[in-house]
Every structure is written in C-alpha cells, then in structure tokens.
Amino acid sequence: MSDSPLILQVQGLSKNFGGVKAIDNVDLDIRQGEIVALIGPNGAGKTTFFNCLTGIYSPTSGEIDLSDPRTGKTTRVNGKKPNKITEIGMARTFQNIRLFPTMSVLENVMIGRHCRTKAFIFGAIFRNAATRREEAAIIECSYDILKQVGLHKQVNEQARNLSYGAQRRLEIARALATEPFLLLLDEPAAGMNPKETEELVALIRLICSEGHSILLIEHDMKLVMTLSDRIFVMDYGKKIAQGTPEEVRANPAVIKAYLGEDVDA
C-alpha cells in the first residue's frame, strides 16, 4: 500500500472560529486503495476537518490537494464549492442522514448522478433523444449501485420507510453515484445494531475492493480496528497520533485522550 499513489494530501490545515482553533495545523494523507480512519473524542474537530475537505468550510490556512488516480491530475481544492469538489472526485455522507424522505430509493440515488449529467434546461424541456438516452443510463447506473449496496429490491420504496441501517446504505449509494475515487464516511455505523454494523463492514470492504479509497470518522473502535489500514487521531483540534491499528492502540497519548489519564509507555 505504501507504493500506491497519494490521492489526498493535507498539509498544515487549520480552521479558526473567532479565537477558537477548531483545527490546528493538521497533516493527513491517503493513498489509493486505503481505508483510513480519523478518530478522537467528541469535540476533537473531526467533522470540522471533513467540512474543510469538502468545501463546507474554507480553511483558515493549509493546503488540500486531491489527485485523481484515473487521470493523474492534482487539484488544490481550498476554497472550492462543495459541488465542484464532488465533480473532482470526493464525495461524502453525513453524521445525520440527509436523504429526500418522500422520494423513492431509486430517485435518491439518481440525484447523485446530477454532477455527471449533460442535459440541462433545454433537454429537460424538449426531452430530445440525447436526454432520454441519458436518463435511461442514469436509471441503469443507479439500479446497479443499489444492487451493490443490497437495496435493489426496494427501488420504489420511499426513503423514509427504510430501516435505519438501510437509510445509511442508501446515503452511501447516493455518494457512490457521483463516481468518487475518495469516499468520506462520517460515523457510518452510528445507531446501527450489530447485524447492520457487520453488513456495513462488508459493504465498505466491497467498495474499497472496487477501486475506491475510504476516509471515515467512527466511534465504534471495533469497526475502526477491523477495517482500517491506518488511523489518524485528533484531540482538541490537533493530530496527536497516527499509524497502524496496532500502533495507535498502544499509543499512550491516544489512551490518555480517551481515558483522561496518563499511561506508562
């Protein structure tokens, strides 16, 4: 994995809210094919970090470079809008599920294809042949993604009628519909029961095996230690550790951050 190309390189990232440093000079990198976890106690700055990566917040300082392994092109995404960052190839899910509850399962995934479509107002109004072909391709692609996440039998169900775990998988499906090479998952196992968590682990491994890289925030340490190739640890906005699951598990600074006490090295 260390020979794989870098697809995300974050250097010196900081984000201030007034006099509060929510993120303080954080470095992080991800290579093609990796599953990387970002962990830390509540309030450590993890979701703020995600929001800076995906354009919801503009960093106060630092650099964020995305390198598309499909084209070799590197883009600095600082200050770009979320939709532009999605077009480059980084998609995310949210800690709080953000589906369209009264739309069907299929329609929710089709919305994710919007950044890859070419038919605009003219095509939507006049429904020319090119627009109809593109719409058919969107439906086919969306259905294939739903098969991948195990929701193809519920294509016409309203999203609000799905179980909690299925709604989580639907949100991942919608993110996959944007054709990302890097997928950011913000607490994907939150609220799941053990069976749903087991299914999620299998799904994340499948997604990674098909060429995607994963960065996830997660509080389920069993899931993190099982899935991750590498782990970055934050506390009070700073990166305090990084390494393999075994290295992080034994790191005194990590133990102190979670347990609030010093541990002999």
3-state secondary structure of 70: coil
Instruction: Quickly count: other Cβ atoms within 10 Å of residue 262's Cβ.
Output: 10
- Asked if pLDDT for residue 120 goes beyond 60, the answer is no
Of 34-48, 106-120, 129-143, give the range with the top mean pLDDT.
34-48
pLDDT of residue 240: 94
Tokens of residue 78, six digits: 């600082």
Beta bridge partners of 63: 11
pTM beyond 0.75: the answer is yes
| Burial annotation 66-93 (CB, 10 A radius, 16+ → b, else e) | bbbbeeeeebebbebeeeebbbbbbbbb
Contact 30, 181 (CB under 8 A): no
pLDDT of residue 1: 61
pLDDT of residue 180: 95
Mean pLDDT within 79-84: 91
Mean pLDDT within 255-262: 72
pLDDT in tens, 123-152: 555 566 777 777 888 888 999 999 999 999
pLDDT band at 119 (very low <50, low <70, confident <90, very high): low
Helix H or strand E segment including 195: helix 194-209
Instruction: Output the average pLDDT for the chain.
Output: 89
pLDDT band at 263 (very low <50, low <70, confident <90, very high): very low
**231 burial via Cβ count (<10 Å: 0-12, 13-18, 19+):** buried
pLDDT in tens, 164-183: 899 999 999 999 999 999 99
pLDDT of residue 118: 65
pLDDT of residue 159: 95
Contact 168, 200 (CB under 8 A): yes
Mean pLDDT within 224-247: 95
Q: What share of the chain has pLDDT > 90, as a percent?
A: 72
pLDDT in tens, 220-229: 999 999 999 9
- Asked if pLDDT for residue 114 goes beyond 80, the answer is no
